[in-house]
Structure 1
Amino acid sequence: MIILEIAIVLGAIYLGARMGSMGVGFAGGVGVLILTAGLGLKPGNIPIDVILIIMSVITAIAAMQVSGGMDYLVSLAEKLLRKHPKQITFLAPVVTYFMTLFAGTGHTAFSTLPVIAEVAKEQGIRPSRPLSIAVVASQVAITASPISAAVVFFSGILDPFGVDYLVLLAVCIPSTFLACMVGAVVANLMGKELADDPIYQDRLAKGLVKKRGTTQITIKPGAKRSVMIFLMAIAAVMVYATAISDKVGLIVNPVLPRDAAIMVLMLTAAAAITIFCKLDASEISNAGTFKSGMSACVCVLGVAWLGDTFVSNHINEIKDLAGNLLQSQPWLLSVTLFFASMLLYSQGATTKALMPAALAIGVSPLTAVASFAAVSALFVLPTYPTLLAAVEMDDTGSTRIGKAVFNHPFLIPGVVTIATSVALAFLFGGMML
């Protein structure tokens, strides 16, 4: 029966991957239906907390986008990239990393990818190099963002083990950022020089490669104000989390737990942006970030529910099978998370589905924290939206997906980045935990 149930879980994930986008969530619901109504398993926990955090954060980000705040941030990123164009392969991941860290969603990379591709072309640099590591950095940074659903949920289940929110960030931020820089070094060595690439030369001869030049972005009057409000909300989240942490203890028995505080502060930020930037609230639901965020909620709902349904019904078997192995070979947790996230398409869903089970079977908090970055292997299958966008925006043909599916420029820099992050997190975590 367990083999049949695993086949159903994998089949649902495969079906979702074929449908794409929210289809992953739809297929997760189908899997839950078959496992429960069909095979009699007890339904797992619905990841309501993760979904509500995503919704509240995305609402504030969408309000900031409508007010022009995202355009303002992109204009700052473009100035940085054009000021040091020869260093595009190293600056591009810095930009996408910190935009994701700041916003709590990797979809912010969409707005910077065209700039990265254009600056690379202007300098005769193979665009696949900066684009590949920029996409990877935008995914890995989720595990270091103070307001991402994955970080907030993971810190919550780590609290009983004496690892609070601030310690988790103190390990994850430096380890993931330094790992992205190592990934950039690897990406900079990938592929032929642009001038030597026959596919580029063929496209150039056919007139398929266009030079757009500097883009002119009109900054709306309330753009800077919306960014400041959003920054203040993030700062408030950090300050409040510090004040209520057991190690600081400035606020004892807080009225609002951390998760609820994040939701309240993000919704308040959305309200403040709407009021002070004079927005029409009805426009916010049409923002690209809002649509992608709500799509992510559906994916997390279906996939994480499916994963928890299977795991919660077989936690004892999993403990007997994997407990001793993970105790003796702790690095295998990162491998498990890597392949799971490759299929689940969501850091939040992977964290919700597997991390509680890992801690329940006796995996040490250090191992769990160090392996956390491995939930970001969304770049392996060339079907993730930001990856596809990077391929589409590079008209030189250098950022291409090979016939073997896995032979694309994102794979090696991504694997190196995650492996380095896990190794560094074991090092930093060993000092702090």
Structure 2
Amino acid sequence: MVWLQLAVVLAFIYLGARLGSIGIGFAGAVGVGVLSLFFGLAPGGIPIDVILIIMSVIGAVAAMQVAGGLDYLVDLAERILRRNPNHITFMAPVVTYVMTMLAGTGHTAYSTLPVIAEVAHESGVRPSRPLSIAVIASQIAITASPVSAAVVVFSGFLEPYGVGYLELLLICIPTTFAAVMLTAVICNFLGVDLAKDPVYQERVKKGLIQKKEGEKRVLKDTGRTSVLIFIAAIVAVVIYATLISKNVGVIENPVLGRDNAIMIFMLAAATVITMITKIDASEILNAQTFKSGMSACVCVLGVAWLGNTFVGAHIDSIKAVAGDLLAGYPWLLAVTLFFASMLLYSQAATTRALMPAALLLVEPTTAIASFAAVSALFVLPTYPTLLAAVEMDDTGSTRIGNLVFNHPFFVPGVICITLCVALGFVVAPMVI
């Protein structure tokens, strides 16, 4: 029955992946219904904490976008990239990593991908090199963002084991950033040079590649102000979480917990941005980041609920089977998280579904070192930012092959996660 139930879980995840976008959340909830009604499993815990954090952060990000903050950041990023065109493969992932880490969502990468593709092409650099690592960086940075749902929820799981929010960030930020930059070095040698690419040459002959006229971006006067307000809210989150940490102990028995504080600070930032910049609050509902974030909430609801239902029903069996194996080969946790996130399509959902059980089987240092592996959203070539990167590159160098896995994001992604985990196993014991 366990294997049949697992087959049901995988079948509905597959159905969700076929539906695409918000469909994976729909299908996940149906899977919970099947496990409950036909197999008698009690529905698992709904990841309300993850959903509320995503909603709060996305609300602030969307307000910042309507106020012109994202355009301001993209303009700043474009100036940085155009100032260093020959180093686009190294600068592009820095830009997407920082933007994702600040915003807590990888959807901010959309606006920078056209700039990356254009600057690379103008510089004679194969666009697939900077685009691939830029997309991977935007996914990996979720596990280093102070306001991402994955980090906040994982830090909550770690607190009973004596590991605080600040310690988690002190491990994840340097290890993930170092892994991204090391992978960028490798990406510089992937694929033939653009001038030698037969697909590019064919597209040039057919006149499919046109010189693009650079669009003059109109910036709102309120853009910079909204960014500063949002950054101030992030700083406030980190400071408050540090003050209430048991390891720091400045504020003992806080009335306001960390999760609630993050939601309050983010919604307060959205309020201040709306008031000071005088934007129409109703426009926030139409912002692309708001739509993407709300879609992510439904996805997390469905797939994490499905995962919690199955894992919760068989936790004793999982501990019995996996305990000894993980004790001898702790890196297998990273492999498990890698394949789970590949199917669940969400760092937060994967963290919420698997990390509580993982912490019962391995040391906290092992779980933290393996944390970056929840970012394997690039394996199947259907993730929105991945598809956007393919679409933005009219040279044809960033293309998806006939086989499922032969696309330019796979090798950089696997290398980057492997480096993150390896560095995590070195740094985590030093910090904790």
Look up the match of 1:117: 117
Look up the match of 1:171: 171
Q: CA deviation at 1:213?
A: 4.4
Look up the match of 2:385: 386
Look up the match of 1:152: 152
Q: CA deviation at 1:205?
A: 1.3
Look up the match of 1:410: 409
Q: Equivalents in 1 of 2:66, 2:417: separation in Å?
A: 34
The AA in structure 2 aligned to 1:192 is V
Look up the match of 1:83: 83
* Contact 1:209/1:396 (8 A) holds in 2: yes
Give the SS at the match of 2:61. helix
Q: Equivalents in 2 of 1:175, 1:223: separation in Å?
A: 31
Q: Equivalents in 2 of 1:114, 1:422: separation in Å?
A: 30
Q: Equivalents in 2 of 1:216, 1:323: separation in Å?
A: 58
* Contact 1:133/1:410 (8 A) holds in 2: yes
Q: Equivalents in 2 of 1:256, 1:328: separation in Å?
A: 40
Look up the match of 1:60: 60
Counting only pairs closer than 5 Å after superposition, residues 84-99 of structure 1 correspond to structure 2 as 84-99=84-99
Q: Equivalents in 2 of 1:187, 1:341: separation in Å?
A: 23
Q: Does 1:432 align with 2:416?
A: no
* Contact 1:142/1:150 (8 A) holds in 2: yes
The AA in structure 1 aligned to 2:375 is S
Counting only pairs closer than 5 Å after superposition, residues 237-386 of structure 1 correspond to structure 2 as 237-360=237-360, 362-386=361-385
Q: Equivalents in 2 of 1:23, 1:333: separation in Å?
A: 28
Deviation per CA, 1:259-289: give whole Å up to 9, x if none.
Answer: 0000000000000000000010000010000
Q: CA deviation at 1:129?
A: 0.3
Deviation per CA, 1:171-202: give whole Å up to 9, x if none.
Answer: 00000000001111121111111000111011
Deviation per CA, 1:138-188: give whole Å up to 9, x if none.
Answer: 000000000000000000000000110000000000000000011111211
Look up the match of 1:198: 198
Q: Equivalents in 1 of 2:356, 2:264: separation in Å?
A: 25
* Contact 1:342/1:379 (8 A) holds in 2: yes
Give the SS at the match of 1:252. coil
Q: CA deviation at 1:212?
A: 1.7
Q: Equivalents in 2 of 1:334, 1:16: separation in Å?
A: 24
Q: CA deviation at 1:210?
A: 2.2
Give the SS at the match of 1:35. helix
Counting only pairs closer than 5 Å after superposition, residues 186-225 of structure 1 correspond to structure 2 as 186-225=186-225
* Contact 1:122/1:211 (8 A) holds in 2: no
Q: Equivalents in 1 of 2:212, 2:79: separation in Å?
A: 16
Deviation per CA, 1:311-362: give whole Å up to 9, x if none.
Answer: 00000000011011001100000000000000100000000010001112x2
Q: CA deviation at 1:214?
A: 3.5
* Contact 1:118/1:211 (8 A) holds in 2: no
Q: Equivalents in 2 of 1:277, 1:72: separation in Å?
A: 14
| TM-score, length basis structure 2 | 0.99
* Contact 1:187/1:413 (8 A) holds in 2: yes
Q: Equivalents in 2 of 1:79, 1:223: separation in Å?
A: 16
| TM-score, length basis structure 1 | 0.99
Q: Equivalents in 2 of 1:99, 1:228: separation in Å?
A: 13
Give the SS at the match of 2:214. coil
Deviation per CA, 1:19-42: give whole Å up to 9, x if none.
Answer: 000011011011000000111101
The AA in structure 1 aligned to 2:268 is T
Q: CA deviation at 1:132?
A: 0.2
Q: Equivalents in 2 of 1:213, 1:344: separation in Å?
A: 39
Q: Equivalents in 1 of 2:210, 2:132: separation in Å?
A: 20
Q: CA deviation at 1:430?
A: 1.4
Q: CA deviation at 1:405?
A: 1.7
Q: Equivalents in 1 of 2:297, 2:134: separation in Å?
A: 24
Q: Equivalents in 2 of 1:332, 1:79: separation in Å?
A: 42
* Contact 1:370/1:423 (8 A) holds in 2: yes
Give the SS at the match of 1:112. helix
Give the SS at the match of 1:386. helix
* Contact 1:154/1:351 (8 A) holds in 2: yes
Q: CA deviation at 1:410?
A: 0.4
Look up the match of 1:395: 394
Q: CA deviation at 1:432?
A: 1.1
Q: Equivalents in 1 of 2:197, 2:334: separation in Å?
A: 36
Q: CA deviation at 1:114?
A: 0.2
* Structure 2 unaligned spans of 5+: none
Give aligned pairs, total. 432
Give the SS at the match of 1:395. coil
The AA in structure 2 aligned to 1:420 is L
The AA in structure 1 aligned to 2:144 is A
Look up the match of 2:33: 33
Look up the match of 1:140: 140
* Contact 1:118/1:213 (8 A) holds in 2: no
Deviation per CA, 1:49-108: give whole Å up to 9, x if none.
Answer: 000000000000000000000000000000000000000000000000000000000000
The AA in structure 2 aligned to 1:207 is G
